[in-house]
Structure 1
Amino acid sequence: MTITLPPVPHRGRLTVLALILPLAVLVVALGVAIALLPQLPNPVATHWGPSGTPDGFGSPIETLVMLTVIVVAFSVGMWALGFFLGSSASTRRLSVFFALWFAAALSGLLVGSLVMQRGLSDASQAPGIGLPLGLSFGFATVLGALAAALMPGDAHQPTTTPVPADAERLPLGPGEQVAWVRTVEPPHLTWLIGGGAVLAMAAIGLGLLGATTVGFTFGITMALLTLAFSLFSRWTVTIDREGLRAHTVLPRPRTVVPLDEVESAEVAEVRPLPDFGGWGYRIDSTGRVGIVVRAGEAILIHRTGGRQLLVTVDDATTGAALLNTLADRARMR
């Protein structure tokens, strides 16, 4: 069976932001690292243990080669994702963000670790990696977010084609207004958040008691990950006369599908791992975007431009039927 992928706009800008810019960051990092080589011990420290002291060492040249291979491979992969499957703006922006974030985070971390080892005769004397880790990850996040913001959104693509006659509808009286709202979250969300919070506090406490930057850094990282998980795991889905809107606890990120871009909606069964490779905001091998919070029923929306959006949510049958009915009404405005 031949799969026809929907068209992808803004491929030129995507290539600049998701491929050329990450590789430029890598080149700058390699230039700085090569300039530092005469001042570095050989081998250099390449890994730090829980105590905050180096426990892994390697050749500086081999370390730079490994960085190059990993960053180039990841950047090409993210660029290919957006270039071939980026029919939706969210896919293009995610590919830009992660390509640049990964290149900047890894390159910054390596350069930072090498700067700390300048002038040392023995790499085992290198200080903890906590500061370079925090600075490189923070800088990478800001840089990735700015680059993603430069990626244009989707152009409005309205349609006047009627919703297929065999699509499910929800009977509504003339002039009757309806809003359908559901909230969906992963199973056992409270336990997951609680477990992450306990682990983070334990790691921070152990780090402070043992005066180790690695333990403290791990605890802070776990705390931030737990916070992010709690903010972005619960989604609210609304269907009304404006269309479909899906958002997390925060106003952003959110996904909006106007009624005049809905070709049809139906119910689909989702298996997160086989269908999308996991949970969260996902893209499958055909470019279909999925808000996959759990397994089970979902609303599958066929949009103009060959795009598809799938949202796992309870009572998907009612939601899909209402969306078809409201899309019919929108054609008659």
Structure 2
Amino acid sequence: MTDEIRRARTAFLWVGVIVPLGLLALAAAVIIAWMPELPDPMAIHWGSDGVDGVASQWGYIAMILGIGGGVVIFDAVIVAFAQRLPQSSTKQPVAQWSTTARFMGAVNLGLGTMIAFLAVVGAALQRGLADAADTPDIGIWTFVGFGLLVGFTALGWFLQPKSPVYEAAQAAPAGSIPLATTERAVWFGTATMARSGVVVLVSALALLALMTVFWIARGDDSWWILGFVTFLLAVTIGSMVVFRVRVNAEGLRVRSLLGWPNTRIPLERIEKIEWVQVNPFAEFGGWGWRIGLDGRRGVVLRTGDALQVTEANGRVFVVTVDGASDAAAVLETLRAHSA
């Protein structure tokens, strides 16, 4: 690890973890000091007709630390382990840093500041009240909180040093295979997300489904909101975790299990074929169907081998899949024969 990367990680630790958690703890301490003056239960949600949700005083504290602290820690864990998730058959050094990590640190500072601010304001509005139902509306303060989110996110970005340039692996030209004019070649592969990522997504889906059932059982009319979010997550999982990759005389086709996204690149449009190493978090800011910082697009589900195709118009498509070098060789052979 270089000194430049070490400085970037230290800045992220302070800006994206220590300071946000400190602000949340400070907000909790202030509210605890006010408890003798606060109603119990306290207002935690406002609707068009005023307060429509309450919680105990300690439940209010737990909500602040649980939601705010949970988001901050979750983002920090993603940054810490993103480049150490299971990789494909070809291993790649991971001692790097990225602009994505810097951005997530900045977002953590903004979120921590906003949540701490709204928590303290919500409690301040209730000081001296006997009944939480009499709490004034918090609406205007919500806009101030969003302003703090934007402002402190920008501040967090500039408080961190410029991210070290990610040293992406050099692309290797595609090889070729012997193929007579009367022979045909085809290659099939499956691009899958790392198992740990699938576990996280499926666990989130199961939790949302359980919460939806619980709200339906309670007879809450707003259950459809959770149901809709659950449906969207299910569609996302079905369309992003597994892709079928096919190389044949028609060109390259990458299609999800649900049929969309579905990318087709005919042989006549292909200008260059390469075998590359890809780090989704550092180069594309995440996993799935992505657009990279350098303009490349593609299906990047894990770190490692990838097939990269450059079209005649300059557009570049990437797909991470085991056996990418073989896929590149078959595609290059078919392109040469087609030409």
> Smaller-chain TM-score range?
0.3 to 0.5
Normalization by structure 1: what TM-score?
Answer: 0.48
Normalization by structure 2: what TM-score?
Answer: 0.47
Q: Look at both structures and tell me which one has the larger radius of gyration over its CA atoms.
A: 2
